[in-house]
Structure formats: C-alpha cells, structure tokens
Amino acid sequence: MSRSLSFSELTSYFLQLEETRSRNEMTDILVDLFKETPNSEVDIVCYLVLGQINAEYEEEVLGLGNKMVAKAISIASSKSKQEVQELFRETGDLGTVAEKISGETKTLNSFFGEQKELTVTEVHQGLKDISRFEGSGSYDKKLRTLAGLITRADKVGARYIVRISLGKLRLGIGAMTLLDTLAKTYTGDKKNRPEVERAYNISSDVGLVGKKLAYKGHKGLEDIEVEVGRPIRMMLAQRLENLDEVKDKLEDRFAAEVKYDGERMQIHKKNDEVKIYSRRMEDITHQYPDVVKAINQSIGSKEVIVEGEAVAYKDGELQDFQTLMQRKRKYDIQKYVEKIPVKIFLFDMLYKEDSLLDKPFPERRKKLEQTISENEIVKCSDIIKTTELREVEKFFNKSVDEGQEGIMIKSCSKDSIYRAGAREWLWIKWKKDYETRMSDTVDLTVVGGFAGRGRRSGLYGALLCAAYNKQKDIFETVCKLGTGFSDETLEELPEKLKPFESEKKPARVSSKIEPDQWFKPEFVVEVLGAELTKSPVHTAGIDTIGNEGIAIRFPRFIGFRADKKSEDSTTTKEIMVMYEKN
C-alpha cells in the first residue's frame, strides 16, 4: 500500500506559508510540499492549500457556521459551549480556539479509541461527508464528523480543520501561484506554466491538473479536454477609449455586439440537463429555473456550451445590473422569477458535440445562430459585421441610446479563437463616456480599510484598493477610495469585509501604505475616477515607470461586484495602458 501524507505534515507547510510574505518563498515551500505528496493525493493537497474540498465549480460546500463549529470544538474538548464562545470572543478566531484547547482531555477519546495518525485523505473525506449530509439528522451527523476530525488532529491540525470548515483558511495562495508550483515540480521548469495554465483554464480544476502532472508529467496535460458540465474559464476583453485605435489592434474585418448590463453566464447542456455557471465559476443553476427551461426549449442538440448575458426585463424594457442581482438568492426563487424576469442574450458557442475553442469567432457565431431557436427568453445578441469604424460608431450610439453599457468589438480573423481565461486584444470593450478623463470604470480589489472619523466614526471612512498583476499573481495598490458611498453602504461595509480581515499584510498584496485594517484580496468593487497620475505612494505599475506607481485621482465608489473574483479585477497592465493614453 502506498504511503499517505499525514495531515500534520501538510499543516507544517501551512505554518511556513503563513509566516512568509514572499511569493517566491511560497512557491519554494509548495514545491517541497508536493515533492513529499504521494501522486494519489496531489489533487486533495491542491484543494486544501486553496481552502477548498474540491474544484471551485463543484456544488459541494461545507455550509458550517460559527455556532456549529464552536459546538463541535466543545464536544471534542473538555470545554463547555459557553467557555468556547468566551474564548472565541477573546481571539476572534475559532481556529485559534481549537488549537488552544486541543491539548486538553477530549470527551470523544473513549468513543474513537486509539487512532492512527490522521491523514490528508481522511480529513478530505470527512469534510466531503459533511458537505453531503442532508435531510433529517444531517445537523448531528455534521457535528459528530467535525468533532471526530478535531479530536483526532493535533493542536495545529485542529486549527486548520476548523478554518477550512468555516471557509477561512486563506493562506494567501492564489491559483496562479499554485500553477507555477505544479509546473516547477512536475515539468521541471516554471516556463511551462502557460501550458499548465491552459489545462486549468479549460477544466477549472486545479486538482485534476495537478494529478495528471503528477502521474504523467508534461504529457498528462494532453489528457485534459473540454467537457460539458465542467466550466471553461471565461475569455475577457481589453479596453479602448478611442474608436480609431481599433484597427491598430484588430485586422480589417471585425464584429460589434451590444454590451448588455447584466450577468455573464456560461450554460452547459447535456441532453435535458442544464448547468449555469457565473463568471466566478459558481453553479447558479438554481437561481434561474426559467433560463433552464428556456434553454431546453431553444436548443435541441445533445451537448453544447454557450455563453451569454442575462439581463433583467420589466415592463417591456431591459433593466440594470443591480436589479438583476436581486435574483442572487437561496430562497423565494420562484417569487423572484416572477418579480424579475430575465432575457438571456447568447453571444458565443464553445462546444457542440466537440470543442469549438480553436475555431475562429465567425465560425463559432455561425454555429450558435444555426443551433438556437429564439424564444421569449433566449435571444442571440445584437451584432453587426463590418470593416467600417463609422458603422461601429453608429451601432455604439444606438446601443447607448437603448440604455446599454456600450459594445464589444471582436476580431473576425482566422486567429480569433476562444482563449479561455485570457484577456486578449481579440475582444475589445468600448463603453459610454462618463464625462471624465477616465472614460470607463475599473474593478478593484479591496486590500485595506481606514477608520472613519466624525460622521463615519466606528465605520470605515475609506478603502485601499488594488489592481491585479497577473504576471506576479499579486495585487498592487492604485487608490484610496473614500467617496461615492451612501450612508447605507457605509454601514454595510464592516460586515461585508469582516470575513476577509487579516492581522498582517497578505503575501499577495504590494503596498507602501499601511491601512488601519488589512484585508485578504477577495472583495471586488467598481470604481470611477477623474484621471490616472503618477504616485509615490501607490505600487501599480511601479516596475514599469521606476520608483513611482500609478494612482486614480478622485476615485468614486460605483458599486459592489459580487459576480467577480479578485483575479478578475482590472489588471495593472490595463491600468498602464489607460495611463499612457491620458
């Protein structure tokens, strides 16, 4: 029988990762970890390092709250529920509580008897069991299983089991850092990262990629193909502010589509089963039973993957994004189906009985139009194909007049393939002018908070926001955001940001500014500013222009972007392009 990695071995590496702020050191620590990991457990370790129990798109979630976890700690120790809650109030971290009292007598010892050392496979299976318990008696089953894991773990292991169960591990490891590690460990060279990343982008499963590499090395990547029911990481667009520059970026022939103000969806259909994934790779099928029904009525093909934009629709008019966000709920689904109906505007086809990712955009669009039977809900997006920029400008003005955000301009060249997970010049977004020198909003990740004063006393008065540097897999600060907030939004901020609080600067954050409270880079906001300027205190673009970074002047809060992951934030590279055009 092959050796299994003990959970205490894994958590020894977790401790090292928590202590470093260097991404290179993180990668070296992870390489050492994977060298010690049996091939059969590489996928499990990939998930656990990210604080997950499976691929991010899979439905299994632990769903554990503080009260249940505190009760499990009480069962696994000699402490009463009240004592555990008191320690929690003192420390603010149930993981620390579990670690602190783990050495004391466990009331379940007699029940479990002498146990072998806890392995990563046993912890993973226990957590998966917890996620699957449903119905009558499920609460007690979850409680007993979690208490059993805590009982068998050592002190440090108890800390991390609790944090994973609460979804609060947050070692500061991003998927891109993990992909660097896998490339270095199993192909011998971090330069092979692009091929490793492509396998991840078409599978959205870092555990699958890790396991294929562990068993077959570089050749294992060839086994990973597009599969209906497993989301493809969505292709993203670059941005332009001047229409005349389009021809510098695209070849002579291109298409222009309406950019709808809604939620992007990737829809997978296999026979009559439909799955809907958000831009964050979340399964949101249950929120849109009306779309599921309409897709089955519209598409007769057995296996397809399409992409589109869902837009709220009321009184004969398309509504804005914030109206649609009322559909994001666990309960009262049918009530909101009736209250906020939607239309889904499909714009791309990624699979029809076989992958279409390597086909040019015109071919994919033609297949989409041939496959779809439009109905009351399912439509093809409005599109024109042209070589004339003036035609594009007319189309843009028409879209804006009808209340939409702007347009997407897409290459129609033979190279216009679907580049999963990439932000390419094959797609360009052109949005309406906001009557400032920054003609487009940006999506930024919150990395810090500053205590409010006066009217904002007891709340956050401003937020430190950052752009994403994909090459380095870090977040670089670009502004201190303090305007645009309503009183209601200000009151919501502490509760919204609490899950992301960090005692020290996270390893993936590059900042010269010291906020009152650090946040792990996971929460995204939409921001509009007046212009971009050089800054001695911000770090976005600092490697490009010397000792100074780029800052957004007069930034204003526009809204929360719950539909985006932090890695979907506006990139440092985009910020630099916008700055150079100022």
Residue 5 · residue 120 · CB < 8 Å: yes
Q: Are strands 378-380 and 342-352 parallel, antiparallel or unpaired?
A: parallel
**Dihedral, 235, 253, 372, 418 alpha carbons, nearest 10:** -20
- Name 384's bridge partners: 256
- For 417, the token pair is 């393939």
**540 CB burial (10 A radius; 0-12, 13-18, 19+):** buried
Written in H, E and C, the secondary structure of 70-108 is: HHHHHHCCCCCHHHHHHHHHHHCCHHHHHHHHCCCCCCC
**Single-letter code of the amino acid located at 544:** T
- Name 311's bridge partners: 343
429 marked ligand binding residue: yes
Question: Rounded CA gap, 266 and 244, in Å?
Answer: 31
257 marked ligand binding residue: yes
Written in H, E and C, the secondary structure of 234-267 is: CCEEEECCCHHHHHHHCCCCEEEEEECCCEEEEE
423 marked ligand binding residue: yes
Question: Rounded CA gap, 553 and 561, in Å?
Answer: 21
**Single-letter code of the amino acid located at 18:** E
Residue 95 · residue 162 · CB < 8 Å: yes
Question: Rounded CA gap, 509 and 506, in Å?
Answer: 6
Question: Rounded CA gap, 195 and 193, in Å?
Answer: 5
Residue 104 · residue 84 · CB < 8 Å: no
Written in H, E and C, the secondary structure of 344-389 is: EEEEEEEEECCECCCCCHHHHHHHHHHHECCCCCEEECCEEEECCH
**294 CB burial (10 A radius; 0-12, 13-18, 19+):** buried
Least Cα distance to 7 among 62, 52, 44 occurs for 44
- For 311, the token pair is 């837009």
Least Cα distance to 278 among 468, 561, 574, 572 occurs for 561
- Name 443's bridge partners: 526
Question: Rounded CA gap, 460 and 68, in Å?
Answer: 30
Question: Rounded CA gap, 377 and 413, in Å?
Answer: 31
Which are the catalytic amino acids? 259
Residues tagged in the binding site annotation: 257, 264, 279, 309, 347, 423, 429
Residues tagged in the binding site annotation for ATP: 257, 264, 279, 309, 347, 423, 429
